[in-house]
Amino acid sequence: MKYFLPDSQDLVDPSFDFQRETRNAERIRHQDDHYAHEVFREHGRVLDGLLVSKAIVEGTGAASQAKYTQNQQRRILREGVKSFFRLENHPWGPIECMGDCGAFTYVKEETPPFSVDDVLDFYVKCKFDYGFAVDHVIVDYKPQWDTDLFGSAVPPNVRARQELTLKLASEFYATHKKNKLSFTPIGIAQGWSPASYAQAFAALQKIGYRYIALGGMVPLKTPEILSCLHAVAKVRLPETKIHLLGVTRFAHLQTFESLGVASIDSTSPLRQAFMDDKDNYHTLERTYTAIRVPQVQGNFRLEARIRSGELDYDKTRKAEQLCLRRLEEYDAGRRKLASVLKALQDYGEIHDPERNRTESARQVLEDSPWKKCSCSVCKQLKHHVILFRGAERNRRRGFHNVAIFYQRLRTLTGQAPALAEAPKPHSTEPDARLSA
């Protein structure tokens, strides 16, 4: 099973100094910053490919804002996706690229904002390995609609979305075949129930697709996804591969694979680093909560409270810096845990008085999982990787999570490990010379 990381312009600045919290003033973001596959370039594969959405690159019309600048848009169309992301001649070997429309960005529209020719032109110019057909997401999951013998319970607009998706897929496939385009076409099945997904899947196979994605499943619960896959399995031809759009569900990956899933994509491992309340740092055995040490300068909530007179700037800044200093000393073996936790608790009472995160901080500091990890991020950042503090730390922690996810994926699916063996853990026993 292959893992594709969706592009959301996640880069890190290699010039960032974590001690001084400064960066090269002449740094140009896309030119100088690194993607995950560059951070792990010399260490080991952490993904099989990238998924890039036309909606992210170019937007969906006047009402939307593309995440790419006009210069970046022109460059990716001129140079191609692999040159743009610096994937060529990578030590890992081939890194494949999928192109899609980004249907969730226009889910509220009556029809997709792109024509089939628009999308095909985008895929060809960007030189993708795979291209998804134009689709329209069905947001309702209502298996009970199928209990009506005549199907009248299915709202007309929902059925129309499925029919439109199949019509566009047929046009997409026919044009692809007629012009002998080089990328592999992928149809997308949309449905509101296991039976309707299976029906759409069978229709796409009849058109000619042998690589089919199941779309609109991000909001579904795992049992619902499994029900759809089991229904699809009854109509799937042996040679037809399945892609799950935006879905991982790690505990069930082996079952997914047994039902024909050949590839998945998701930003969940990366996003959990800074969007989840608890599971911010992943290991092969468990997850940890990152330690909150928010920046005083640049944190709009803290700055607003300081301007209002609620907080004293000097006291707040002193508490922040004491946390950073004691965490560094602890990681170097020069500070006892109790004094670190005290500093964190004192600062926590300032920046987040309604939450007590002492126990989660104790767990991660006692275990110091970054000392046991062989990934490039942990080896470079050390304890900084566990700090919930600014994009440079948070995004690198997300890259670490992606690496761990991929390692677990390969192990579960019987593939060789992608990362080097972890080093022996550093001792976390207090030294006699430790400060109180």
Q: What does the DSSP assignment read for 203-251? A: HHHHHT-SEEEEPS-TTS-HHHHHHHHHHHHTT--TT-EEEETT---GG
Q: Which pLDDT score is estimated for 427? A: 38
* Structural contact between residues 265 and 6, judged by C-beta atoms closer than 8 angstroms: yes
299 pLDDT band, cuts 50/70/90, is confident
Per-residue pLDDT tens digits for 45-65: 999 999 999 999 999 875 566
400 pLDDT band, cuts 50/70/90, is very high
pLDDT above 90 covers what percent of the chain? 84
Furthest C-alpha separation in the chain: 79
Give residue limits of the domains in the chain: 48-266
Identify the three-state secondary structure at position 374: coil
* Structural contact between residues 112 and 134, judged by C-beta atoms closer than 8 angstroms: yes
User: Within 44-193, where are the H helices?
Assistant: 54-58, 70-79, 81-84, 116-126, 156-178
Q: Is 100 a catalytic residue?
A: yes
What's the predicted TM-score (pTM) here?
A: 0.92
Residue closest to 383 by CA, chosen among 425, 348, 332, 335: 332
Q: Check if CATH label 3.20.20.105 holds for domain 48-266.
A: yes
Angle value at C-alpha 279, between 277 and 282, nearest 5 degrees:
155
338 pLDDT band, cuts 50/70/90, is very high
* Structural contact between residues 325 and 383, judged by C-beta atoms closer than 8 angstroms: no
User: Which of these is catalytic: 10, 100, 135, 331?
Assistant: 100
Take residue 372 and report the two structure tokens written for it. 């046991």
Q: Is the pLDDT of residue 424 over 50?
A: no
Distance separating alpha carbons of residues 73 and 9, to the nearest angstrom: 13
